[in-house]
Amino acid sequence: MEKLKGSLIIGQSGGPTSVINASVQGCVEAALNSPSVTRVLGASHGIRGILDDRLYDMRMEDPEEIARMRHTPAAILGSCRYKLADAMTDDTDYQRLLDVFRKYDVRYFFYNGGNDSMDTCSKISAFMSQNGYECKVMGIPKTIDNDLALTDHCPGYGSAAKYVATTCMEVGLDARAYGEGSITVIEIMGRNAGWLTAASGLAKIYGAGPDLIYLPEMHFDLADFISDVKRIYDRQRDVMVAVSEGIMDKNGTYISSYFSDTAKDKDAFGHAQMGGLAASLANFANANFSSAKIKAKVRGIELSLLQRCASHMASRTDIEEAYLAGRAAFEAAESGVSDKMVAFRREPGAVYSCAIEMVDLVDVANAEKKVPREWINAAGNGMLEPFFEYVMPLIQGETEQEMVNGVPRFARLKKIMTRDM
Amino acid sequence: MEKLKGSLIIGQSGGPTSVINASVQGCVEAALNSPSVTRVLGASHGIRGILDDRLYDMRMEDPEEIARMRHTPAAILGSCRYKLADAMTDDTDYQRLLDVFRKYDVRYFFYNGGNDSMDTCSKISAFMSQNGYECKVMGIPKTIDNDLALTDHCPGYGSAAKYVATTCMEVGLDARAYGEGSITVIEIMGRNAGWLTAASGLAKIYGAGPDLIYLPEMHFDLADFISDVKRIYDRQRDVMVAVSEGIMDKNGTYISSYFSDTAKDKDAFGHAQMGGLAASLANFANANFSSAKIKAKVRGIELSLLQRCASHMASRTDIEEAYLAGRAAFEAAESGVSDKMVAFRREPGAVYSCAIEMVDLVDVANAEKKVPREWINAAGNGMLEPFFEYVMPLIQGETEQEMVNGVPRFARLKKIMTRDM
C-alpha cells in the first residue's frame, strides 16, 4: 500500500505531565526521518494554534534540543483547554481546521492529551472523513490521572506516582521528626479517579507514608475521617493522611466545598476548580483534636503543580513508554491506521511487559477509568496488594536528566512559525 | 596531649534538612573508629532524649545503615524544639543533663542544629565548665535558612536551594503551559532571612522562574506588589512570584497576618507560625486583577516541608560538606577543642573551596545572618549577580541516592536504647 504523503501536525492539550514532551519527541523524530512527511509542524497551544495558524516548523529545531524534550516537563509546544463545539451545532472551528489542513496539506494529525483531547481528536477525525479530506488522526495518551479507558495505564502516571511515593516518604520522615505528635494531610491531584493518590501508599511500604488514603472512588465522611485519624493518633501519635482533591460525600458534594464560602469556579470543560482541601481538613482535624486535649502539629500540604512537572523524579519506564507511544502513533498512522489512540496492554507473566495496541478514539473519548473497588480496603481508607502489584512496574528506573550548573538543562526550542517563513 | 576518654552523645535539634543525617554520620563514623570514645550515643529527640535518658547505642547499628544516613532526610535520631531555661533562673534541666552525662561518663557532646541549638549548646558548655565537669561541647551547623553567623553558609542550605531552583524551573514551565495568562505565587521558607527564597532566582537564569522575589530583608508593600505584578503581566502575561514566608511591612507586621482572622500560634521559641501566604497573595492579586478585566489562572504554591526534606534533589557539595562538618567537629573535640561551632570559610579564587574553622558558640548563638542589601536589586524585588556567585557553588553536584524498587532506600536504624541493655 502506498503511504499517504503530506504534512504532519502534532499538538498538546490538557494538563502537562513530566513526560508529555517525550511523546512529542517520539512522534517528531520518527516523522522527521520519514519520506512520507513533507513538513513536521508543532501546534502552538494545541487546537488553538491550528485555528490561529500558529505552527512551529520542527525541522528548524536543533535535533539535540528535540532529544532534550525527553526530560523536559510541561507542554513544550504549549497546551490548551479549548473545547470544540459539536460539529452538528456549530462547525465554524472545524471548517477553519480544514482550511488550515488544506493550506499546509496536512495528512497526519496527532493529539497528545487526556479524555477531553481524545474527544477532540475523535470529532476532528469524523469531520475530516465526512468532508472527504484524507488525514490520519491519532491520539497519544497522557495524563497523571491515569483515567483513560482501554489502556493498562497512561504515560505521565508512572512519573507522577514515583514523585508522589518519594515525596510522601520524605515528608513522612520529616513530619514525625519531632516525636511530639503530628497530623499531616497531603492533597494529591485527581478529580474523579484516585490512581495518583493511591500511589502514596507505596511510601508506607518502603518507609514512612500515609496511614490513611481517601480516593474519590469512595464516599468521604467527615465523621469517619476524624475517627480514623483519632484511632491512629492514639496508637502512634503521628498520622499522615493522603486525600484526592476530588473526594466527595455520599451526596456527591465535594468535601472542599464544605470549607468554601463561595461557589467554585469551573474550567472550560465544566470541571470544578479545586484547591486548599489539605489545609482545610488539617485545620478541621486540629479543631476536633484540640477539644480532645491533643496537641499535635497539624499540617496541610498540597502537591499542586509539583506532582505533574517534577521531571527530575520521572520514572524511566514512563519516559520510555511515553516516547514509544509517540513513535508508535506515527508508525501506525503512516501504515494507514487512523481514528485510534495508542494504548498499552500488559502482558501476563511475572516480568512486566506491555504490548502496544490501537484502540478506537470514540471508545476512549470522555470515558473515565476508576480504581477498582477490590483494590481498595474494606474501610475505604487504604490500598490493597493488587494495586501495588499494578503500580510498582510503572515507577521503575531513574531519569537520566542532564544537569548543568547544578540544575536541569531543559530543551529550548526556537519555535519558528511556518506562517512567518 | 592525652585525649579525653569517655562516651559521646550526639543530638539533633530544630527543623530537619536533607543532609542533617550526613553530619551525624560524619561524627558517628569518626567516633566509632576512635579509641577515645567508649560509647557512641544518639540522643532521641535532642536534649529531650538526654533529659529522659533515651539514648541509642550507635555501635549496635549496622554500619551500612549508618552509611545510608548520608542520603536520608529528616532528623533520624529525632529532633526537638526544647528550649533550656537560663541556668541562673532555673538549673533543673542542667542538673539533670549533668546527672546523665555522669551516668554514662559523657565527655563529648555534639549538637546538630541552628541558632537556637547553638544557644543550647553554649549554655550546656558553660554549665558543665562552671561545675567542673570536663566535656567537649561542639555545635554542628544545619539549617536550610542559612542564617547562622560566622560561617559562609550552612549545611542543608545548598540542597534546599537546589531543590527550590529546580522546582521553580519546573513549575515555571508548567504554570505558563496554557499561554492564557497566569499568576503564580510560590511561598518559600525563611522567617527573617531570605537566603532560600533568593535561590529561586537561579530558576530564571537557567530557564523559567520567578519574575519577582520578595525577601524578609526588605519591607513588603502590598500596593507595590500589585503594581509589580501588573507591570510584568502586561508585558508577558505570565507572572511568577517567589515570597519568603516571613515577609513583613514597614511596621514589622507579617503580611500573612493581613489575611488571617485569628492570632497566629507561636512555637516554643516565640516564633510566629507561618503558612497560607502564597494562596492569600495569589487570591489578593486575583481580586485586584479581575477588577481590571484580566483573566489569569492564579495559583498559590507552598513548598512546605518538601523544600527541607527532598533528599532526592540534594546537592552533592552540600552532602559532602555536611558529612565533613560532623567529622570535623569530632576531630576538633578529640584534639581538645570545645565550646565551638564548625564553620565554613570560603577561600578566595575562581574555583570554589572552603576551609573549615571553629568559631565561638556564644558568637553564633541567637545571631542571624541576613542577605546583604547590596545583593538585592534597588526595587527590592529581585536578586543581583553577587548573590548568584555566592549560591552557585553550593548547589553543584547530584546525589547518589540508592533507589530500590523505584523509590529511595533510606537508612533504617534499630534504635536500641542504652538504658534497656
Contact A392 B405 (CB under 8 A): yes
**Residue from A52, A173, A403, A404 to probe the interface with B (highest B Cβ count within 10 Å):** A173
pLDDT band at residue A398, thresholds of 50, 70 and 90?
Answer: very high
pLDDT (0 to 100) of residue A271: 46
ipTM value of the model?
Answer: 0.95
Residue A63 burial (CB count, 10 A):
11
Residue-wise burial string across A38-52, b where 16 or more C-beta atoms lie within 10 A, e elsewhere: ebbbbbbbbbbbbbe
Please pick, among B145, B147, B211, B238, the residue that the annotation labels catalytic.
B145
pLDDT digits (tens, 9 = 90+) for A73-103: 999 999 999 999 999 999 999 999 999 999 9
Average pLDDT of chain A to the nearest whole number: 93
Chain B contact set for A406 (CB, 8 A): 162, 165, 202, 315, 392, 395-397
- Provide the 10 A C-beta neighbour count for residue B35: 8
Q: Are A211 and A240 in contact (CB under 8 A)?
A: yes
Q: What is the mean pLDDT of residues A285-298?
A: 72
B111 SS3 class: strand
Nearest beta carbon to residue B179 from set A78, A171, A179: A78
Higher per-residue pLDDT: A256 or B125: B125
Query: Average pLDDT of A212-220?
Result: 98
User: Residue B137 in 3-state DSSP?
Assistant: strand
Q: A221 is written with which cell numbers?
A: 465522611
> Percent of chain A having pLDDT more than 90?
85
How many Cα atoms sit within 13 Å of A338 on the Cβ side?
17
Q: Which residues, 6+ apart, have CB-to-CB distance to A313 below 8 Å?
A: A18, A159, A162, A163, A166, A167, A399, B312
Q: Which pLDDT does position A270 carry in this prediction?
A: 46
- A-chain residues within 8 Å CB-CB of B299? 304-305
Rounded to an integer, what distance in angstroms lies between the CA atom of residue A380 and that of residue A383? 8
Instruction: Give a three-class secondary structure readout of chain A.
Output: CCCCCEEEEEEECCCCCCCHHHHHHHHHHHHHCCCCEEEEEEECCHHHHHHCCCEEEHHHCCHHHHHHHHHCCCCCCCCCCCCCCCCCCCCHHHHHHHHHHHHCCEEEEEEEECHHHHHHHHHHHHHHHHCCCCCEEEEEECCCCCCCCCCCCCCCHHHHHHHHHHHHHHHHHHHCCCCCCEEEEEEECCCCCCHHHHHCHHHHHHCCCCCEEECCCCECCHHHHHHHHHHHHHHHCEEEEEEECCCECCCCCEHHHHHCCCCCCECCCCCECCCCHHHHHHHHHHHHHHHCCCCCEEEEEECCCHHHHCHHHCEHHHHHHHHHHHHHHHHHHHCCCCCEEEEEEECCCCCCCEEEEEEEHHHHCCCCCCCCHHHECCCCCCECHHHHHHHHHHHCCECCCCEECCEECCCCCCCCEHHHC
Contact B255, B314 (CB under 8 A): no
Q: Kindly report the CA angle at A345 between A168 and A199, in degrees rounded to 5?
A: 10
Identify each DSSP E strand in B283-388 by its residue range.
297-302, 340-346, 354-360
Q: How far apart are CA A106 and CA B372, in angstroms?
A: 57
Q: What is the pLDDT of residues A171-195, one digit of tens each?
A: 999 999 999 899 999 999 999 999 9
pLDDT tens-digit series, residues B233-264? 999 999 999 999 999 999 999 998 888 654 44
- pLDDT level of residue A1 (50, 70, 90 thresholds): low
Calculate how close chain B gets to A405, using CA atoms only, in Å: 6
**Confidence bin at A267 (pLDDT 50/70/90):** very low
Q: How many residues does chain B have?
A: 421
Confidence of residue A265 (pLDDT cuts 50, 70, 90): very low
In this prediction, residue A69 carries a pLDDT of 98
Of B367, B358, B369, B370, nearest to B139 by C-alpha is B358
pLDDT for the residue numbered A292: 58
CA distance B357 to B359: 7
Candidates B73, B79, B167; nearest CB to A170 = B73
Q: Which of A174, A176, A298, A319 to probe by mutation at the B interface, max B CB count within 10 Å?
A: A174
CB A297 within 8 A of CB A241: no
CB contact under 8 A, A392 and B406: yes
Cβ–Cβ of A306/B311 closer than 8 Å?
Answer: no
- The confidence score (pLDDT) of residue A290 equals 59
Among this protein's residues, is A147 annotated catalytic?
Answer: no
**Separation between Cα atoms, residue B48 and residue B43, nearest integer Å:** 8
CB pair distance less than 8 Å for B177 and A75: yes
Q: Which positions ≥6 away from A420 have C-beta within 8 Å?
A: none
Binary contact (A73, B170; C-beta < 8 A): yes
**Contacts B24 to A, Cβ<8 Å:** none
Asked if the Cβ–Cβ distance from A311 to B398 is below 8 Å, we say no
Output the DSSP codes for B53-108: T-EEEGGGS-HHHHHHGGG--S-TT------PPPTTT--HHHHHHHHHHHHTTEEE
Amino acid at B364: V
The pLDDT tens digits of the residues spanning B355-393 come to 999 999 999 997 899 999 999 999 999 999 999 999 999
Strand partners, A299: A184
Report helix, strand or coil for B187: strand
Judge whether residue A206 has pLDDT over 90.
no
A405 and B396: CB-CB below 8 Å? Answer: yes
Rg (CA), chain B: 23
- Please list every residue in chain A whose beta carbon sits closer than 8 Å to the beta carbon of residue B392: 405-406
For residue A35, give the amino acid letter: P
Task: State residue A263's pLDDT score.
Answer: 40
Searching chain A, which residue's CA lies closest to the CA of residue B304? A301
CA max distance for chain B: 77
Q: pLDDT at residue A415 above 50? A: yes
Q: Tell me which chain B residues have a C-beta less than 8 angstroms from the C-beta of A174.
A: 16, 73-74, 305, 308-309
CA B354 centroid distance within chain:
19
Each residue's pLDDT expressed in tens, for chain B with a length of 421 residues:
688 999 999 999 999 999 999 999 999 999 999 999 999 999 999 999 999 999 999 999 999 999 999 999 999 999 999 999 999 999 999 999 999 999 999 999 999 999 999 999 999 999 999 999 999 999 999 999 999 999 999 999 999 999 999 999 999 999 999 998 999 999 999 999 999 999 999 999 988 999 999 999 999 999 999 999 999 999 999 999 999 999 999 999 999 888 865 444 444 444 444 447 898 898 888 777 655 556 788 899 999 999 999 999 999 999 999 999 999 999 999 999 999 999 999 999 999 999 999 999 999 997 899 999 999 999 999 999 999 999 999 999 999 999 999 999 999 999 999 977 7
Residue A68 Cα, gap to closest chain B Cα (Å): 14
Q: Which residues contact A136 (CB under 8 A, 6 or more apart)?
A: A4, A107, A108, A109, A333, A334, A336, A337, A338
Question: Strand A55-57 relative to strand A37-43: parallel, antiparallel, unpaired?
Answer: antiparallel
Is the pLDDT score of A272 beyond 50?
Answer: no
CB A108, CB A42: distance < 8 Å: no
Domains and CATH numbers, chain B: 6-146+312-367+396-420 (3.40.50.450), 157-307 (3.40.50.460)
Answer yes or no: do B406 and A162 touch at CB < 8 A: yes
> Are residues B74 and A176, on separate chains, in Cβ contact within 8 Å?
yes
Across the interface, of B174, B179, B405, the residue whose CB is closest to A308 is B174
* β-strands A407-408, B6-12 pairing: unpaired
Q: Please count the CA atoms within 13 angstroms of the CA of A421 that sit on its side-chain side.
A: 15
Rounded-to-integer distance, Cα A262 and Cα A247, Å: 18
